[in-house]
Amino acid sequence: MAYAVVRSRVYVTDIGVADAAARAVARYFSEARPASTLVQVNGLARPSQLIEIELDAVDGAGQSAKHFSSGRSIEDQYAYSRAVRVGDRVFISGSTAPLCSLKSLVTNFLVSTKIQ
């Protein structure tokens, strides 16, 4: 039930496989458009493992989820949302914003989604 997925986390041990991993997730969850984060890690549970994918799902999210976008084309390319709100829960994608603008980013998001 792909439409209930609201958040994905992709861990890669080799950043060289990041694009392929993100595109693979996008193929399966293009309509769900979960809030997504992809990070490189030093290792996973099995030394031979290159990728780990973690998903959060909410029953009924397909009908009630509200998706938020920054308008960047990469969100369409990898089929994800900057944030997904389901009821009183908000799932926010990881951000590559500089630390100095992080407070501004969070404040703007909270205002735009009326979470404050």
pLDDT tens-digit map of 53-91: 999 999 888 888 888 888 889 889 999 998 888 888 888
pLDDT of the residue at 1: 46
What percent of the chain has a predicted confidence (pLDDT) above 70? 78
pLDDT at 108: 62
Compute the C-alpha angle 9/75/20, nearest 5°.
55
DSSP H/E element including 76: helix 73-77
Residue 40 has pLDDT above 90, yes or no: yes
Q: How far apart are CA 44 and CA 28, in angstroms?
A: 23
The residue that leads in pLDDT, 31 or 108, is: 31
Query: pTM for the complete prediction?
Result: 0.77
End-to-end CA distance of the chain: 31
Q: Report the pLDDT value the prediction gives residue 37, as an integer from 0 to 100.
A: 93
pLDDT of residue 53: 94
Which domains does the chain carry? 2-113 (3.30.1330)
Taking the CA atoms of residue 7, residue 13, residue 16 and residue 17 in that order, the dihedral angle to the nearest 10 degrees is -50
